[in-house]
Chains A and B, each alone.
Chain A
């Protein structure tokens, strides 16, 4: 082979993200809107290109249409290349068999021939549902330096939260001697970020062995990593310092959005040396009218604000009419908040219209939780939607008929 790539990234983007409920009804989790003008997958894709990795396979399975369309030829991320670039890899029908991706390891296994084409020395396995900025090339350097078979990025988490993560127990030099998935009594605070670097040959060996094992769930965390530890391979933890968030639930998605606000945001989107790229449809600049009162919020192109927006993140093309109030909320693309309506402590999916005088959600202090509002809804004038509910078409009908 004349050309090869030192490093190829495989991005697992097939997850349903069922704990995001209405938000992932029609799109896969990586395609969910985030941070005003991004989708969740933008962070991982931007990390790849900013780290100098220009060959990325995106493994899709659940609701791939929006994601396929969004990634397209990869042009927004500079991933349109003559050799390499971004490629969407859905499950396919082979000569002998046709299978869905049965697990994270199986998804990569089914695409080994894709990796063959680039003959990489290292394979970076990523998941498309985390928000963070990370230089993978530094991690690959670490992997080379310690001569590992596999390196797993870890982040320090508070010990009381450690039981929610996959925890790495390591020696002082970060060599992993034990891996525990969601341990009840965690021995360390090094949580796996779902970012792996494999030496190609080792990856191939263990994936092929794992595939042959019928008892295996074909999962990296549950099967492949433990098998590698049993096999005496050198596994290292790569400590990452910085912002990292799993946005698997509505609460964590809300929090991660809020982390973008403030004087010194936990995650800074305006750093010209590590830009987050995204595909967008050339919206005009946003306009704040005479009655507008906007504080501690993120606003982007196409928005027209005549009302009050406080502690909120608004996506492209959101309209907030006179007298309307949006507080502590995430409003996604092209939603309309009509005159004197209010939206409190809510996450609202795209294209929903809130009618005049309607009340959506309840103030955060009442403790009823986040109101999750589906996409494309028409919330009639004067409707009152309480906090903590998940409102879709059916819910609105029930609400109207007084059955809630």
Chain B
């Protein structure tokens, strides 16, 4: 897709999963054995032929930069285009406009020089916590064909009043958006949910940002879109395959466990011609030792397993000792579980050590989270 530049917001919604984002961005939350959340968005862009990507960062982005590196694992180490990290731009002079942006619109404003410096005609804006495998080229083609001002990707989902942090998009039968609202307070039912992926002309985006700046607007949907529904052509693009977004630690747990169903895996990982790329770590294959019992689990390379693992997700380099039972748990990279340990509904962050003989348990509705590098 020549002519499209991608922009990813890496810190959007950080506060939703504060346990996991204390030392990292939303974009670099580990997910699905070997991925970080941004891998899904990056892979969607790359698989749709978009090879020029800006990643907007805000704070805590060290782990993200480490993950992305030169971008070569996504084929984004390019002379022409490629991946660029766009850190916050704060001048040292007193009195100049400083302060970190808080919303998507402010973020775009702070990197307007990157946007104006691009040569592509279209921009695709995406959040980093959109776990899906979507063909963006189809969306872009539809956007061009309908000549819309903005096209927003949506998925029809069953919402209950308990769902938070999602936007509901109403549209007429032609696909033209008639309303956008927060999901709180609605009655249960099927609604189109905003996937926070949108396509628009680059020049149009520049105009929006200038206008918003002049008026002091801060929210892309509330200020830019909702105010202009009547006089602009905003449209939806329907996506109907696997989609997950993470709004809380329990959400994170449920979405991860979703991957134990083959239909979720097939629609996320096994789509023809659309693999999900991630940073390559060159771990060895996983070693199953004599006496290991592993069932219904998703396991990355580089693990060594002596004990029992059920209904769990093991990231790269996890070790499970003898006579240990791990059930319904998520063990992130290089977690070391000793012998005679019993874990149930536990999430361990990276490099956690669980000593011999420990018993830890949470509940599906409230998994027990263990912080990075903790020794239990």
| A and B interact physically | yes
Contact surface of A with B, Cβ cutoff 8 Å: 35-37, 75-76, 260-263, 265, 268-270, 275-278, 280-301, 304, 309, 313
Q: Which of B270, B280, B292, B293 contacts A284 (CB 8 A)?
A: B270
For residues 292 through 316 of chain B, which have their beta carbon under 8 Å from a beta carbon of chain A?
292-302, 304
**Taking A282-B278, A284-B276, A285-B33 as contacts, is the C-beta distance between A298 and B287 under 8 angstroms?**
yes
Interface pair B295/A282, CB less than 8 Å apart: no
Q: CB-nearest residue of chain B relative to A42? A: B282
Q: Determine if B114 is an interface residue (Cβ-Cβ < 8 Å).
A: no
Give 18 A-B pairs besides A261-B287, A300-B301 with Cβ atoms closer than 8 angstroms: A37-B301, A75-B72, A260-B287, A265-B287, A276-B282, A276-B284, A284-B275, A285-B32, A285-B298, A285-B300, A286-B300, A289-B295, A290-B296, A295-B289, A295-B290, A299-B286, A300-B285, A301-B34
**Taking A285-B300, A288-B297 as contacts, is the C-beta distance between A297 and B265 under 8 angstroms?**
no
Question: What residues of A have a CB within 8 angstroms of the CB of B275 in the complex?
Answer: 281-284
Question: What residues of B have a CB within 8 angstroms of the CB of A293 in the complex?
Answer: 293
Tell me the minimal C-beta distance from A38 to chain B in angstroms. 9
For residues 246 through 285 of chain B, which have their beta carbon under 8 Å from a beta carbon of chain A?
260, 262, 265, 269-270, 275-278, 280, 282-285
Q: Which of A35, A75, A282 contacts B276 (CB 8 A)?
A: A282
**Which of A260, A265, A270, A283 has its CB near the most chain B CB atoms (within 10 A)?**
A270
Question: What residues of B have a CB within 8 angstroms of the CB of A296 in the complex?
Answer: 288-290
Question: What residues of B have a CB within 8 angstroms of the CB of A263 in the complex?
Answer: 289-290
Question: What residues of A have a CB within 8 angstroms of the CB of B32 in the complex?
Answer: 284-285
Tell me the minimal C-beta distance from A317 to chain B in angstroms. 10
Interface pair A289/B296, CB less than 8 Å apart: yes
Interface pair B295/A288, CB less than 8 Å apart: yes
Q: Determine if B87 is an interface residue (Cβ-Cβ < 8 Å).
A: no
Question: What residues of A have a CB within 8 angstroms of the CB of B357 in the complex?
Answer: none
Interface pair B292/A294, CB less than 8 Å apart: yes
Question: What residues of B have a CB within 8 angstroms of the CB of A36 in the complex?
Answer: 284-285
**Taking A282-B277, A296-B290 as contacts, is the C-beta distance between A287 and B282 under 8 angstroms?**
no
Q: Which of A260, A285, A288, A304 contacts B294 (CB 8 A)?
A: A288
**Taking A284-B269, A294-B292 as contacts, is the C-beta distance between A269 and B278 under 8 angstroms?**
no
Tell me the minimal C-beta distance from A322 to chain B in angstroms. 13
Q: CB-nearest residue of chain B relative to A77? A: B282
Tell me the minimal C-beta distance from A327 to chain B in angstroms. 13
Give 25 pairs: A residue, B residue, CB < 8 Å, sorted on A: A35-B285, A75-B72, A76-B280, A262-B289, A262-B290, A265-B287, A269-B285, A270-B283, A275-B282, A276-B284, A280-B280, A282-B276, A284-B265, A284-B270, A285-B299, A287-B262, A288-B296, A290-B295, A292-B294, A294-B292, A295-B289, A296-B288, A296-B290, A297-B287, A297-B288
Question: What residues of B have a CB within 8 angstroms of the CB of A288 in the complex?
Answer: 294-297, 299
Interface pair B284/A270, CB less than 8 Å apart: yes
**CB < 8 Å A-B pair total:** 107
For residues 17 through 52 of chain B, which have their beta carbon under 8 Å from a beta carbon of chain A?
32-34
**Taking A261-B287, A270-B302, A299-B288 as contacts, is the C-beta distance between A292 and B295 under 8 angstroms?**
yes
Question: What residues of A have a CB within 8 angstroms of the CB of B276 in the complex?
Answer: 282, 284
- In the assembly, what is the distance between CA of A304 and CA of B283, in Å? 19
- In the assembly, what is the distance between CA of A262 and CA of B292, in Å? 12
Question: What residues of A have a CB within 8 angstroms of the CB of B293 in the complex?
Answer: 293
Q: Which of A76, A295, A304 contacts B291 (CB 8 A)?
A: A295
Interface pair A295/B292, CB less than 8 Å apart: yes
B182-203 interface mask toward A, CB cutoff 8 Å, 1 = contact, 0 = none?
0000000000000000000000
Tell me the minimal C-beta distance from A350 to chain B in angstroms. 16
For the complex of A and B, list the 5 residue pairs with the smallest distance between their C-beta atoms, beginning with the closest: A269-B284, A36-B285, A285-B33, A284-B269, A300-B285
Question: What residues of B have a CB within 8 angstroms of the CB of A281 in the complex?
Answer: 275
Interface pair B282/A277, CB less than 8 Å apart: yes
Question: What residues of A have a CB within 8 angstroms of the CB of B302 in the complex?
Answer: 270
Tell me the minimal C-beta distance from B22 to chain A in angstroms. 25
Question: What residues of A have a CB within 8 angstroms of the CB of B265 in the complex?
Answer: 284, 287
- In the assembly, what is the distance between CA of A284 and CA of B271, in Å? 11
Interface pair B282/A278, CB less than 8 Å apart: yes
- In the assembly, what is the distance between CA of A297 and CA of B285, in Å? 10
Q: CB-nearest residue of chain B relative to A75? A: B72
Q: CB-nearest residue of chain B relative to A46? A: B282
- In the assembly, what is the distance between CA of A62 and CA of B276, in Å? 34
Question: What residues of A have a CB within 8 angstroms of the CB of B300 in the complex?
Answer: 285-286, 301
Question: What residues of B have a CB within 8 angstroms of the CB of A283 in the complex?
Answer: 275
- In the assembly, what is the distance between CA of A291 and CA of B297, in Å? 11
Q: CB-nearest residue of chain B relative to A268? A: B284
- In the assembly, what is the distance between CA of A297 and CA of B288, in Å? 5
**Taking A288-B299, A301-B301 as contacts, is the C-beta distance between A294 and B294 under 8 angstroms?**
yes
Question: What residues of B have a CB within 8 angstroms of the CB of A275 in the complex?
Answer: 282
For residues 45 through 66 of chain B, which have their beta carbon under 8 Å from a beta carbon of chain A?
none
Q: CB-nearest residue of chain B relative to A279? A: B280
Question: What residues of B have a CB within 8 angstroms of the CB of A313 in the complex?
Answer: 285
For residues 317 through 352 of chain B, which have their beta carbon under 8 Å from a beta carbon of chain A?
317
Tell me the minimal C-beta distance from A121 to chain B in angstroms. 30
Question: What residues of A have a CB within 8 angstroms of the CB of B297 in the complex?
Answer: 287-288
**Taking A285-B32, A287-B265 as contacts, is the C-beta distance between A298 and B282 under 8 angstroms?**
no
Tell me the minimal C-beta distance from A70 to chain B in angstroms. 15
Question: What residues of B have a CB within 8 angstroms of the CB of A297 in the complex?
Answer: 287-288
Q: CB-nearest residue of chain A relative to B292? A: A295
- In the assembly, what is the distance between CA of A285 and CA of B280, in Å? 13
Tell me the minimal C-beta distance from A46 to chain B in angstroms. 9
Interface pair B287/A270, CB less than 8 Å apart: yes
- In the assembly, what is the distance between CA of A91 and CA of B169, in Å? 63
Question: What residues of A have a CB within 8 angstroms of the CB of B298 in the complex?
Answer: 285-287
Interface pair A298/B286, CB less than 8 Å apart: yes
Tell me the minimal C-beta distance from B151 to chain A in angstroms. 29
Question: What residues of B have a CB within 8 angstroms of the CB of A294 in the complex?
Answer: 288, 292, 294
Tell me the minimal C-beta distance from B241 to chain A in angstroms. 15
Interface pair B304/A270, CB less than 8 Å apart: yes
